[in-house]
Amino acid sequence: MIKIKLSDLLGKHKMTQKALADATKIRPATISKMYYEETKRIDINQINSICKAFDCEVSELLEYIPDK
């Protein structure tokens, strides 16, 4: 399973979903789906934009958790 740690990053940087959407040009609905881990796929350009906005590594946004 892949965990999307967007809520952690938003909290750490004290940023709203709307502010991130504005900064990355990603639709607010898409940001919301990532935030609540309801999204089924993420475009590589979206990952790039989010990492650029937070100045972070991909590993700070996505985490692999082995299935049991």
| pLDDT for position 68 | 84
The range of the structural domain enclosing residue 60 comes to 2-64
In the chain (68 residues long), the average pLDDT of successive 10-residue segments reads: 96 97 98 96 97 97 94
| pLDDT for position 45 | 98
Q: What is the DSSP string of the chain?
A: -EEE-HHHHHHHTT--HHHHHHHHT--HHHHHHHHTT--S---HHHHHHHHHHHT--HHHHEEE----
**CATH code, domain carrying 54:** 1.10.260.40
Domain count across the chain? 1
